[in-house]
Amino acid sequence: MEFGIVELSRFQFAMTAMYHFLFVPLTLGLSILVAIMETVYVMTNRPIWRQMTKFWATLFGINFVLGVATGITMEFQFGMNWSYYSHYVGDIFGAPLAIEGLMAFFMEATFVGLMFFGWDRMSKISHMVITWLVAIGSNFSALWILIANGWMQNPVGAEFNPLTMRMEMTSFFDVVFNEVAQAKFVHTVSAGYVTAAGFVTGVSAWYLLKGRHIELARRSMAVASAFGLASAISVVILGDESGYSTSHNQKMKLAAIEAMWETEPAPASFTLFGIPDQEARETKYGIHIPWAMGLIGTRSLDTVIPGIDELEKEAEVWIRDGMIAYGALMEIREAKGEVAPEVMATFEEHSEHLGYAFLLRKYTDDPTTATDEQIHQAALDTIPTVWPLFWAFRIMVGLGFFFIAGFAYYFYRASFKRMSFPRAALIFAPIAIPLPWIAAEMGWFVAEFGRQPWTVDGVLPTAMSVSALSVGEVLFTIAGFALFYTVLFIVEMGLMLKYIRKGPTLDVKETELWLEDHAERLRHSPSGSPIATPAE
Amino acid sequence: MSFSGFYLAMFTVLAALILRPVAFKYRSKRAAKAWRGAWDWALFIGGFVPALIFGVAVGNVLQGVPFHLTDDLLPVYEGGALAKFFGLLNPFALLAGVVSVAMLVMHGAAWLGLKAEDPVAGRARAIGSVAGLVAIAGYALAGLWLAFGIDGYAFTSEVVANGPSNPLHSEVAKGGSWLAAYAARPWIAIAPVAGFAGMAMAVMGLRAKRDLGTLLWSKLGIFGVISSVGLTMFPFILPSKTAPNSSLTVWDASSSQQTLFVMLVVTAIFMPLILAYTAWVYKILWGKVTEDDVLAEASQMY
């Protein structure tokens, strides 16, 4: 593979996006967990819950700010590195991004300040509302970003305008209620909840292991393991929903994930393991589960899932169709405004597959005169590289099921075994903290790498989407990001570890006030610790 | 689209903008002097660099930028990476950068005068009134430069305001003066007048230690300076000096009517909401931040 502008721009986007997503899932989940803890504080008035709120919110803040900062990079890059993409689909893609700013980002960014600085300036209930608004704002952010990304996977509610040479929105409703976007949103935020639950469980287990901050750790463990179990179940179920929407919207992605070379009679089998060989178009040493794929992918016994061979032939037909549209587009451009109606009619008839003709531009300057060999090559390009998708998907799904089992265990011990954990479980939980991150990054890899060779599925090839830059410029910024992001990562991890080691700060004044208020009741209470009564 | 043309400059802005929120949050997380000093510098860069480069960018836009659109409407900027970057740093653009930085320093000083006590407030007022004078002088100089030294752009074909959004459908030529706009639309003189008046009143306010009024005058000044650029250039957004026909204008670089309408509705709903809750947050955090506050609340904030 030669490294030109396209490859370098893709590499930079992948690198900065995956880095950004180190911080996003924890923000999504931890904001909700903190809001839950503060709600318990407001309801019970117990200082320990205030202490928990503040402790986890401190860690939330350290993470949140890098999520915000690295998000700026994502938006900048559409203009800096993907200017043709921005021109071609900005009319649709720009709207959800702008709405994200207006509806979600301003809200979370404005209220996060009050969340940290406002404790003594407002009532408890007001502060709790602020914390919830930060959590809701973060999650709304994810909604609009995923509506934008969902449109790249399944471009609905838009059509190509030959006079402006770009896609234009025809239905805002269709863009917002795109089934792919909705499935992705719930799947992604659930993944964030799992990440945060795993983080809180892991840190709490470490405290229990060390015998420190027991009161905080036990309660945090109780909240996080329950939240984690619910989230892990939903991330798997909603991931299945996401897969189902892929089966009829992005057939090639699904076939590549499953390494399904040939169309099988319905219901197709699911390949549990195997070694995909793209050259020979076969999966070696495959272990198949009969019927499973057909049932999961189509939710029926008789719907056929097309294999890669068949989809490649289909792509060839669409390329030929797109070539007619391309020819008509060139005539429209020549006519400069005075377009003959029959040319327009030809264009409209074939414009659905215009994007497929663009795939030919890699091989010829004039796609209308492409040879059979060039058309065949372009059709081959519609097949993404199978093995990374095959494996990334299986790692993600395997981890998903593992999270259900893991959280079920911690939830059971926390809720029904009076928080008695074997030592091994307390050692394992902190070690397992990175696993949800791995699953989430794998998920994004499957979603984005699986869409190749397109930035917008079937509409705009990745190779055409880039800016007119020089290799040197992109190499320079890749090096810049690598250096800058590494330093930020080290600083962030240093602070996280420092504040985890330090533990919560005891709110002396608050605790004394509470003890005074409850002195009478505590005198009659058999419990040893006044701050944490077992009745809770 | 100017993002790809100003590639390295935008990368610099981006790096500074990343530093800014991180510095706000992380500065207080460790007590070491070196740590806090480093984040103070990060905050300085995070404020200074974007203020400078956005000003430089506006200075370049007023002169026209060297790019052309291909038949597919891909913007291509002439020159290599370094030529593109250093080409941005021409004298007029740097002057615009200085105006931008000085104007925002003045505004920051007005804010500190309102929120801080001496000696911080006093220092800010002293620096801010100098910065305000620099901004006024720079803005006046830039105006003269535009009148005598820089060509404007104008449509040479008929202006089609509601045609397809395609810059190549119209013809544009360089020549004449940007300031011709003031003859065609005399009312726009209100923008530079507001710019000068706002900045002058802000400087006087800083000297007289008037707090709230100074901030509002400074806001008006900034509003006047920035809107004067837009109103003078209208309908141009990004003129091309090497291929004027590729210039982007309000009429042919806009979104589709559908998208514009959706965004109008969304903005009409959310803008008032944003203003309302932002005002509420300002109200909660209103008042001077004193040394005692900082010490007393140190344990409450994180």
For chain B, the residue count is 302
User: Is the pLDDT score of A40 beyond 70?
Assistant: yes
Q: Nearest C-alpha of chain B: how many angstroms from A316?
A: 24
A129 has a chain B CB within 8 A of its CB: no
* Mutation choice for A interface testing from B10, B14, B71 by most A CBs within 10 A: B14
Q: For residue A110, what are the CA distances in angstroms to A113, A115, A131?
A: 6, 9, 11
Query: Which residues, at least 6 apart from A427, have a Cβ–Cβ distance to it below 8 Å?
Result: A205, A209
Q: Are B19 and B46 in contact (CB under 8 A)?
A: yes
3-state secondary structure of B95: helix
- Of the listed ranges A33-37, A525-529, B88-92, B280-284, the least confidently predicted one is A525-529
Nearest chain B residue to A476 by CA: give it: B8
Q: Report whether pLDDT(A531) > 50.
A: no
Contact between B302 and A103 using a beta-carbon 8 Å cutoff: no
Distance from the A195 Cα atom to the nearest Cα atom in chain B, whole angstroms: 22
Helix/strand/coil for B76: strand
What DSSP string describes A282-340?
EEEEEEEETTHHHHHHHSSSSPPPP-HHHHHHHHHHHHHHHHHHHHHHHHHHHHTT---
According to DSSP, the residues that pair with B65 across neighbouring strands are B240
Amino acid at position B26, single letter: Y
Subunit contact A79:B80, Cβ cutoff 8 A: no
pLDDT band at A520 (very low <50, low <70, confident <90, very high): low
* Among B1, B284, B300, beta carbon nearest to A114: B284
Show residues of chain B in contact with A117, CB under 8 Å: 285, 297, 301
Environment class of residue B33 by beta-carbon count within 10 Å: exposed (0-12), middle (13-18) or buried (19+)? exposed
Mean per-residue pLDDT over chain A, rounded: 90
Residues of B numbered 114-153 whose beta carbons fall under 8 angstroms of chain A's beta carbons: which are they?
none
Tokens representing B41 are: 């510098």
What is the C-alpha to C-alpha distance for residues A166 and A464, in angstroms, rounded to an integer? 13
Selected residues 22-51 of chain B with any CB under 8 Å from a CB in chain A: 22, 24-26, 29-30
- Say whether A116 and B21 touch across the interface (CB within 8 A): no
**Cα-atom radius of gyration of chain B, to the nearest Å?**
22
CB contact under 8 A, B29 and A499: yes
Asked whether residue A299 carries a pLDDT value surpassing 50, the answer given is yes
CA A435 from centre of chain: 15
| B281: contact with A, CB 8 A cutoff | yes
- CB contact A471 to B (< 8 Å): no
Q: If pLDDT is split at 50, 70 and 90, which confidence band does A151 have?
A: very high
The answer to whether A107 touches A140, Cβ cutoff 8 Å, is yes
Q: What is the 3-state secondary structure (H, E, C) of A20-71?
A: HHHHHHHHHHHHHHHHHHHHHHHHHCCHHHHHHHHHHHHHHHHHHHHHHHHH
pLDDT tens, A245-282? 777 788 899 888 888 888 888 788 888 888 888 888 88
- B101 token code pair: 């930085």
* Rounded-to-integer distance, Cα A497 and Cα A487, Å: 16
pLDDT at residue A534 greater than cutoff 50 = no
- Which residue from A minimizes the CA distance to B85? A473
Nearest to A96 by CA among A173, A5, A40: A173
- Of residues A239 and B234, more confidence is placed in B234
Query: What is d(CA B171, CA B187) in angstroms, rounded to the nearest whole number?
Result: 27
Question: Would you call A468 an interface residue with chain B, using a CB distance cutoff of 8 Å?
Answer: yes
Q: Are A168 and A194 in contact (CB under 8 A)?
A: no
Chain A contact set for B71 (CB, 8 A): 333
What number is the average pLDDT over the span A359-366? 91
Which candidate in A121, A173, A481, A493 is best for mutational testing of the B interface (most B CBs within 10 A)? A121
C-alpha distance from A275 to closest chain B C-alpha (Å): 41
Between B163 and B37, name the one with better pLDDT.
B37
**Could you tell me if B156 lies within 8 Å of chain A, comparing CB atoms?**
no
* For residue B54, pLDDT beyond 70: yes
Residue of B nearest to A497 (CA): B29
For B75, which of A62, A83, A114 is closest by C-beta distance? Answer: A83
A80 touches chain B (CB under 8 A): yes
User: Chain A within 8 Å of B282 (Cβ-Cβ)?
Assistant: no
Give the pairing type, strands B248-249 and B67-69. unpaired
pLDDT in tens, B117-160: 989 999 999 999 999 999 999 999 999 999 998 999 999 988 88
Q: How would residue B301 be classed by pLDDT, with cut points 50, 70 and 90?
A: low
The mean per-residue pLDDT over the stretch B87-97 comes to 94
Q: pLDDT by residue (tens digit) across B175-208?
A: 889 999 999 999 999 999 999 999 999 999 999 9
Task: State the pLDDT at residue B239.
Answer: 95
Residues of B with Cβ-Cβ distance to A86 under 8 angstroms: 1
Tell me whether residues B76 and A57 touch, CB distance under 8 A: no
Interface of B with A in 157-216 (CB under 8 A): 164-166, 169
Higher pLDDT, B273 or A264: B273
How far apart are the CA of B124 and the nearest CA of chain A, in angstroms? Answer: 24
CA A389, distance to chain mean position in Å, is 16
Closest C-alpha to A201, from A419, A24, A469: A419
Closest residue on chain B to A496 (Cα): B29
Which chain A residues touch B16 with a CB distance below 8 Å? Answer: none
Smallest Cβ–Cβ distance between B1 and the set A86, A98, A102 belongs to A86
| Residue ranges per structural domain of chain A | 5-250+385-502, 308-381
Residue A226 to residue A215: CA distance in whole angstroms: 17
Q: Are residues B113 and B213 in contact, defined by beta-carbon separation less than 8 angstroms? A: no
More confidently predicted of B225 and A420: B225
pLDDT greater at residue A402 or residue B290: A402
Q: What is the mean predicted confidence (pLDDT) over A57-69?
A: 95
Task: Check CB contact of A107 with chain B, cutoff 8 Å.
Answer: yes
Average pLDDT over residues A471-496: 95
Rounded Cα distance, A275 and A21, in Å:
29
**Residue A169 C-alpha, separation from nearest chain B C-alpha, in angstroms:** 6
What pLDDT does B39 receive?
96
State the sign of the Cα–Cα–Cα–Cα dihedral A223, A228, A231, A237: negative
Residue spans per domain, chain B: 2-254, 260-302
Quote the minimal CA–CA distance from A79 to chain B in Å: 5
Can you give the pLDDT at residue A528?
46
Per-residue model confidence as pLDDT tens digits over A443-475: 999 999 999 999 999 999 999 999 999 999 999
Residue A343, pLDDT > 80, answer yes
pTM score: 0.92
pLDDT of A365 strictly over 60: yes
Q: Which tops the pLDDT comparison, A287 or A172?
A: A172
Question: Which candidate from A57, A111, A468 shows the least CB-CB separation from B76?
Answer: A468
- Give the residue, A519 or A226, on which the prediction is more confident: A226
pLDDT exceeds 90 at position A340: no
**pLDDT confidence of residue A298:** 79
Question: Which A residues, 203 through 262, put their C-beta within 8 Å of a C-beta on chain B?
Answer: none
CA dihedral B118→B120→B122→B123, nearest 10 degrees, is: 150
On chain A, the residues whose CB falls within 8 A of the CB of B285 are 113-114, 117-118, 121
Judged by CB atoms closer than 8 Å, whether chains meet at A87 and B75 is answered as yes
Whether B284 and A168 lie within 8 Å, measured CB to CB: no
Chain B residue numbers touching A73 (CB-CB < 8 A)? 14, 18
Q: Which residues contact A43 (CB under 8 A, 6 or more apart)?
A: none
CA distance B234 to chain A (A): 21
> Taking CA atoms, what residue in B is nearest to A123?
B284
Collapsing DSSP to helix, strand or coil, A459 comes out as: coil
**Would you give the distance in Å from CA A63 to the centre of its chain?**
17
